[in-house]
Every structure is written in C-alpha cells, then in structure tokens.
Amino acid sequence: MPLILPLLLAVVLFCIGVYGVLARRNLITLLMSFELMLNAVNLNLVAFDAWHADGLATGQTLAVFVITLAAAEIGLGLAIVLLLFRGHGHVDADAARDLVES
C-alpha cells in the first residue's frame, strides 16, 4: 500500500479533530475531537513505521505510548468536565468563562 493513503486519512482525521476542538461547544465533543487528533498521530506513526521498517518497531512502540497517554488524558478531561457539570449544571465551553479578565 502506498504511504500516501494512510497519511491522507490521518490529515483528514486531524483536521476534523481541529475543527471539533475549535468550533464545537459541547465539552464532551471537544474531548472526542482531541482523541481524533491523537489517533491521527497514531496512524501517522504506524504508517511511517511500516514504511521505514527498521526492525525495532519504534513507531509502533510510540503509538502504544500515545494510546496510554490518551487514556490518561481522557480520564482527567472527563473528571474536569464532570466537575464543571456538577458546579455549573452544563458542559458548554462558551459559557465556562470564570477566568475572564473583567
């Protein structure tokens, strides 16, 4: 399989992620978009590993690291979202402006 196909897929995934992070208001969607971006990176890593074939599988190793990291991150993120919901009764990124400089 040519390298360009997985890379294109990764670009599409990443852009969807960026769009989700910057444009959506629901914080859960925001977290899902983060996951999309991370997985785009994972795809990149695996694709380049297959293409490079150095025998050490460094790209795959790194991908496993990123998956672990993503799991930790989503745990923290969900905790924050949960606290926000408990405190404010919503999960709206636009409305959570407690740190605004007034």
Query: Which residue's entry shows tokens 């897929």?
Result: 9
Q: CB 1 → another protein: shortest distance, Å?
A: 28
- 70 and 53 Cβ atoms separated by less than 8 Å: no
Which one-letter amino acid corresponds to residue 96? A
Closest CA to 28 of 73, 99, 77, 97: 77
Q: CB 93 → another protein: shortest distance, Å?
A: 6
Of 18 and 46, the one with the shorter C-beta distance to another protein is 18
* Position 94 contacts another protein (CB under 8 A): yes
- Using a CB cutoff of 8 Å and minimum separation of 24, what contacts does 50-59 make? 51/3
Within 34-93, which residues bind another protein (CB under 8 A)?
93
* Position 12 contacts another protein (CB under 8 A): no
Size of the site for another protein (CB under 8 A): 12
Residues at the contact surface with another protein, assessed by CB under 8 A:
18, 21-23, 93-94, 96-101
